[in-house]
Amino acid sequence: MTQSQSAYFLSDAQPPTRRHTLAVLVDNEPGVLARIAGMFSGRGYNIESLTVSETEHEKHVSRITIVTTGTEKTIEQIKTQLDRLVPVHRVVDLTVQGEALERELCLVKVRGKGDARVEALRLAGAFGARTLDATLNSFVFELTGTTEEVERFIRLMGVVGLVEVSRTGIAAMSRGAEGMLEAALPDGAQGR
Amino acid sequence: MSREMTGAEMVIQALIDQGVSTLFGYPGGAVLPIYDALFQQDSVKHVLVRHEQGAVHAAEGYARSSGKVGVVLVTSGPGATNAVTGLTDALLDSIPIVCFTGQVPTHLIGSDAFQEADTVGITRHCTKHNYLVKSIEDLPRVLHEAFYVAQNGRPGPVVIDIPKDIQFKSGKYEKPRDNQHKTYRPQIKGDLGKIKTAVEMIAKAKRPVFYTGGGVINSGPHAAALLRELVRATGYPITSTLMGLGAYPANDPQWLGMLGMHGTYEANLAMHGCDLMVNIGARFDDRITGRIDAFSPGSKKIHIDIDPSSINKNVKVDLGIVGDCAHVLEDMVRLWKDVAGEVDKPAQKAWWLQIDGWRARKSLAYRNATDVIKPQYALERLEALTQGRKRFITTEVGQHQMWAAQYLHFDEPNRWMTSGGLGTMGYGLPAAVGVQLAHPKDLVVCVAGEASVLMNMQEMSTAAQYRLPIKIFILNNEYMGMVRQWQELLHGGRYSESYSAALPDFVKLAEAYHAKGIRCDDPAKLDAAIMEMIDYPGPVIFDCLVAKEENCFPMIPSGKAHNEMILPDFEGDTGEIIDAKGKQLV
Ligand SMILES: Cc1cc2nc3c(=O)[nH]c(=O)nc-3n(C[C@H](O)[C@H](O)[C@H](O)COP(=O)(O)OP(=O)(O)OC[C@H]3O[C@@H](n4cnc5c(N)ncnc54)[C@H](O)[C@@H]3O)c2cc1C
Ligand SMILES: Cc1ncc(C[n+]2csc(CCOP(=O)(O)OP(=O)(O)O)c2C)c(N)n1
Ligand SMILES: [Mg+2]
C-alpha cells in the first residue's frame, strides 16, 4: 500500500488501514472500466474485489462495486480521484454509511470418490450451497454468501477434492430505506 | 439547427463554433480528410509545426498566455505517440488542450494496421479525458463535450481519436449547447459558511501568509485582480509557486518572492513560521513542502481548490474549500469587510518585522564578476532592459528556469509559461511559438539552457515560416547545469554524462534557420547585445556564454525542512549537505 504521495515522506510509521466497499455509478461507455482500474494501478492503490454490470440499461449506467483497503487518508483520496473521472456520476462509501450488505457468488468444482464425495455433498448441504451439476465422480456447487463464508467453504472443499473455483466478486448495498443517490455528498463531490 | 456534413467538416465547423482561430498540427494519412477540409476554408489558421511534441507545447503556450483552449491536430500512430509528452505536460500543469488524433478506419482497428496505435489506451493516463469516436452520430456531441471538459473544472488535455472512415462519413452536425457534458459539473461556488470561517481565521491570525498557485492563473485575470484586492486589504504577506507567478505583482511590498526548493529565504521561512497558511489554487507539491513531517508544523491551513482530490492529498488541512478561485475570492473580498476591524495590528507589525529580518538576509544575492557573465546577472539585465514592455517569458527546464523565476519580475498573470509539473526539457521554444502567435505584437523571450533548447530546436523552422520574432535567450553554461549541480551535491562531483559536448555553433544554427544569431561572453557588452536582440524584427537565437559551474541557490536540499536552506553565501563542502536518506529522493 502506498504511503503519503509525497517523495518527502520519510517516516516509517504506518497509520491503521481499513477495508472499504465503494459503490460507483458510471456511464457505461467504452473504456470506463480501464479508466477506473488504471487509476488504481497508476496511483498505487489496491483492488481486492471489483464487480461491474449495467444496472440501468436505458440510461447506460453501470454500477461498479470496489473493495479496497487503505488508511483513512488513502480511502479519501481514492474516493475523490474516482469522483473526478469524467464518466463517474457518484461515489458512495458503503462502509462509512454503516454495515452494508455484501454478498458474493462462487462456483466450485470438486472431484472425488467414496468418502470424499459423500463429505463434499454433506458440507455443501451444511453451507446451503446448491448443486448445479453432478457426475459419478464430481460436483459443481453454487454458494452465495459473505466473503468469509465463501472463503470458508472453498477452504473446506480443498480437503475433499477441489478442482476449480470461480467467484463473482462482491455486490453490495446499504441497509435501510435510503437509496445511494439520496446519500449526503461530501463538499465538491459530484452528485450527478 | 442541424446541418448535413462530413466528419472532417464537422471538426472544422466545431472549431469555428468554439471560437478557435489557431490550431497546431502536422499532417499524415489518417487525418488527410481533415486537412482537405482545412484547405477549403479560411476561418481557422493551421500552424504547421515540425514535430508533434512541438505542436502540443505550442498549444500550451498559446493557451496559457491567452486563456483560451489550445488545439492540436496530429495523425495516427507516430503522430499520436509523439504528442504524448506534450499531453502529459499539459495534464500536470492543468492546461486546457483539445488534441485531435487520426485513427485507422474502424473496421481495421485491432488488426495492427499501418500506423495503428491504441491512442485512447496510451493517452488514458495522460489526459483528463479521451474519446474514440466510432460513429458519426456521436461526433458533434464529442467535439463540443471535449472543449467543455478541457476548460471546466480543473483544466486539462482531452484527446479525440477519429478513425478515417468517420472523417469521410456524412451526418447531422449540431451546434454547441451550454453545459455540454450530460453529467460532469464541477463545483464553482465555494461553501459560504466555510468562506466565512476562512476570513475569520485570517482576521484572528497573528502570522498568516498567502500561498498561491497556478489555480489563480487558471481561474483567469479576474481572479488575479481579486487576489490583489484581498491581499492588500488584509496587509499580510504573499508568496506563490512557480506556476502562479504574475498573479500578484512582484514589485509590491507584500510580495515575498517565489517559495519552495529554489524559493526565497523570506518566503520559505514565512511558510515555516506562520500560524495560518492560506493556500489559494496551489497543490502542496513536493518542491514546496520538502519534508512533509517538518512542513510548517505550527500552522493552521486553509486550502481553496477546484479539484477536491487536491485537498488533503499531500498535506492535511484544517479547512478545505472546493471552488473556483475567482468565485471564492469574490466572496472573501466581500466578507473581509465585516471582519477587517478584528485584525491584531501590533501582531501584524511584529510579523512584518520578522519577515524584514529574513529579507535582509538577501537570499538572491550572488557574487558578480567582470570577466565572465553570471547567469543571474544576464537575467537581471534582461529584466531591466525589458521593463515596461508587454513581455512574455517561456522557459526550458533546468537552472536557467529557476533563475528566470527568481530574477525576472512578473506583474501580470499569463505572462510566464514554464513546465512545472513534468519539467519537460524542450517545452520552452515551441511554447514561445505558441505565445507569439497569440500575441503577435509583443515581446516573447524563451529563457533556455543549451541542452534543453536542442530538444525541440526544429521548431525554429516554424518560427521562420510564420515570421514569428521569438527571442531564444540561451544561458549557455556548457552543462546540463541542474544535473551537474545535483551531482556536485549528491554524487561527489562526479559529472557523469552531464557535460554538453559537441554543441552546435548556435549563431550559425540561427542563420541556418533564417534567424539572427548573437553571441556574447562579456558582461560589459551584454546590454548592447540584449538591445540588439530586442530590436531585431525577426527570430533571434542569443548564445549567452555564462559561468559554467554556477549553482542555483537558495536551495532546500532534498529531505530537509524549510528552515534548513542553503543560501548563496554558503561556505563549506557542498558534497556534505545532503545525507544518505535525502540522496534517495528526487
Ligand atoms: C527544475 C524544477 C524546479 C522546481 N522548483 C520549484 C520551486 O522551487 N518552487 C515552486 O514553487 N515550484 C517549483 N517547481 C514546480 C513544481 O514542480 C510544481 O509544478 C509547482 O510547484 C506546482 O504549482 P502549483 O502548486 O501552483 O500547482 P499547479 O500545478 O499550477 O496546480 C494548480 C492547482 O490549482 C487547482 N486549480 C486549477 N484551476 C483552478 C481554479 N480555477 N480555481 C481553483 N483551483 C484551481 C488545481 O486543482 C491544482 O490543485 C520546479 C519545477 C522544476 C522543473
Ligand atoms: C526531457 C527531459 N529529460 C531529462 C530531464 C532531466 N533534466 C532536468 S534539468 C536537465 C539539464 C538541463 O540542462 P540545460 O538545458 O543546459 O539547463 P541548465 O540547467 O544548464 O540551465 C536535465 C537533463 C528533463 N527535465 N527533461
Ligand atoms: Mg546548461
Model ipTM value: 0.91
Residue A170: its H or E element = strand A162-173
Instruction: Tell me if residue A37 falls in helix, strand or coil.
Output: helix
Residue B543: its H or E element = strand B540-545
Distance, CA of B138 to CA of B174 (rounded, Å): 10
- Which neighbouring-strand residues pair with A21? A67
Which residue in A50, A66, A159, A44 sits closest to A111, CA to CA? A159
- On the 0-12 / 13-18 / 19+ scale of CB atoms within 10 A, A30 is exposed
DSSP β-ladder status, A138-145 and A101-111: antiparallel
pTM of the entire structure? 0.96
The pLDDT of residue B583 is: 75
pLDDT at A142 exceeding the cut of 50: yes
Residue A27: its H or E element = strand A18-27
The pLDDT of residue A98 is: 80
How far are the Cα atoms of A43, A157, B94, B470 from residue B444, in angstroms, in the given order? 37, 73, 22, 5
DSSP β-ladder status, B391-395 and B443-449: parallel
CA B287 to centroid of ligand 1, rounded, Å: 9
Ligand 2 atom at minimum distance from B448 CA: 15
Q: Which residue from B minimizes the CA distance to A9?
A: B292
Q: Is B423 in the pocket of ligand 1 (CB under 6 A)?
A: yes
Atom 20 (ligand 2) nearest CA: B481
Q: Is B28 in the pocket of ligand 1 (CB under 6 A)?
A: no
pLDDT at A7 exceeding the cut of 50: no
The pLDDT of residue A12 is: 58
The pLDDT of residue A117 is: 95
Q: Give per-residue burial for B135-150: e unless 16+ CB within 10 Å, then b.
A: ebebbbbbbbbbbbbb
**DSSP track, B345-367:** HHHHHHHHHHHHHHHTT-TT---
- Which neighbouring-strand residues pair with A63? A25, A53
The pLDDT of residue A5 is: 43
The pLDDT of residue B1 is: 59
Q: What is the pLDDT of residues A68-93, one digit of tens each?
A: 999 999 999 999 999 999 999 999 99
Pocket test for ligand 2, best of B402, B483, B544 (most atoms within 8 A of CB): B483
Cis before B186? omega within 30: no
The pLDDT of residue A2 is: 37
Instruction: Tell me if residue B99 falls in helix, strand or coil.
Output: strand
Residue type, B491: H
Residue B114 designated active-site: yes
How far are the Cα atoms of A190, B10, B30, B72, B74 from residue B102, in angstroms, in the given order? 32, 14, 5, 11, 7
The pLDDT of residue B362 is: 95
The pLDDT of residue A11 is: 54
Write down the H helix ranges in B387-470: 399-407, 428-438, 460-465
The pLDDT of residue B180 is: 78
What is the residue-level pLDDT of chain B in tens, covering all 586 positions? Answer: 579 999 999 999 999 999 999 999 999 999 999 999 999 999 999 999 999 999 999 999 999 999 999 999 999 999 999 999 999 999 999 999 999 999 999 999 999 999 999 999 999 999 999 999 999 999 999 999 999 999 999 999 999 999 999 999 999 999 998 877 888 999 999 999 999 999 999 999 999 999 999 999 999 999 999 999 999 999 999 999 999 999 999 999 999 999 999 999 999 999 999 999 999 999 999 999 988 899 999 999 999 999 999 999 999 999 999 999 999 999 999 999 999 999 999 999 999 999 999 999 999 999 999 999 999 999 999 999 999 899 999 999 999 999 999 999 999 999 999 999 999 999 999 999 999 999 999 999 999 999 999 999 999 999 999 999 999 999 999 999 999 999 999 999 999 999 999 999 999 999 999 999 999 999 999 999 999 999 999 999 999 999 999 999 999 987 787 888 898 877 777 777 777 777 777 7
Chain B interface mutation, best of A3, A4, A6, A56, highest count of B Cβ atoms under 10 Å: A6
Distance from CA of B559 to the nearest CA of A (A): 6
Residue B164 designated active-site: yes
CA B419 to centroid of ligand 1, rounded, Å: 10
Determine the number of helices (DSSP H) and then strands (DSSP E) in chain A: 4, 8
Residue type, B124: R
pLDDT at A8 exceeding the cut of 50: no
Q: How many CB pairs under 8 A join A and B?
A: 87
The pLDDT of residue B467 is: 98
pLDDT at A1 exceeding the cut of 50: no
Which residue in B462, B474, B543, B202 sits closest to B351, CA to CA? B202
| Residue the block writes with cell 455484501 | A102
B94 in Cβ contact with B419 (< 8 Å): no
- Hey, are the CB atoms on A38 and B124 less than 8 Å from each other? yes
The pLDDT of residue B447 is: 99
Distance, CA of B219 to CA of B445 (rounded, Å): 24
The shares of helix, strand and coil residues in chain A, as percent rounded to the nearest 5, are 25, 35, 35
